[in-house]
Chain A
Amino acid sequence: MNADITVDAKFKSCPGPLIALAEAVGKAQPGQVVKLLATDPAAPSDVKEWAAGVGHKLLATEKSGNVYEIYIGVVG
């Protein structure tokens, strides 16, 4: 999946990845896709809950080695 913006939060513990993602999503335009790279095992679940709460769209969660690639569709 292609992303407009990539946030690299590998090796950051909670709440680092989510804070970095929220900041990037806040600056993105509606319709853009933001990709989060994270190694924190809690990241997929945290991002899922956060996106559901704030109204952005969780498009996909993939895993490559020990790195999660989590795609968020920015909703205006």
Chain B
Amino acid sequence: MSKIAIIVASEKMDKLFPAVTLATTAAISGWDAEMFFTFWGLLALKKGYQPSGVTFDYKAYEGKLTEAIASGTIPNWKTVLEQGLATKRIKIHACSTTLGMFDLKQEDLESFVDSIAGAATFLSKAKGSDVSLFIS
């Protein structure tokens, strides 16, 4: 069984979309996917979260992306993630350190979060991955 491990360290639209695209595509291809949301990426796991924009450096292109999402050419990031989660092959881990930093509790996060994890736990899940990415 192939496996992908992705660390998501940004809550911006232009970072979340490629992260969930790769995780979901892996999952529907029969791979396991381990995702670790840390630092600003953790904010994306808050209940009902939708990104307000793209990374500052790429603001000039934000309109292109929001138009594509509004027209349905590019799917919403959470829809893509939910389609992957339906396979049961994606596991979502929330970083315990940043959870504490933001004064958040597990109940503040989406119900699809599988665990509150530290670095050692995520490393044990990610160990042996065929593809590993840090997206920030």
Q: Contacts A14-B21, A54-B29, A54-B30 hold; do A19 and B83 have CB atoms under 8 A apart?
A: yes
Select one of B21, B30, B73, B83 contacting A12, CB under 8 A.
Answer: B73
**A23 lies within 8 A of B83 (CB):** yes
Do B30 and A13 have beta carbons less than 8 Å apart?
no
Chain B positions 17 through 59: 1 when the CB is less than 8 Å from some CB of chain A, otherwise 0? 0000100110011100000000000000000000000000000
Across chains A and B, the number of contacting residue pairs, with CB separation under 8 Å, is 35
| Known A23-B83, A53-B30; contact A13-B68, beta-carbon cutoff 8 A | yes
- Please tell me the number of chain A residues within 8 Å of chain B, measured between CB atoms: 15
| Chain A CB within 8 A of B63 CB | no
On whether the beta carbons of B28 and A12 are closer than 8 Å, the reply is no
Q: Which residues of B contact A19 (CB under 8 A)?
A: 24-25, 28, 75, 80, 83
List residues of A whose CB falls within 8 A of some B CB.
Answer: 11-16, 18-19, 22-23, 46, 49-50, 53-54
Which B residues are closer than 8 A to A by beta carbons?
21, 24-25, 28-30, 68, 72-75, 80, 83
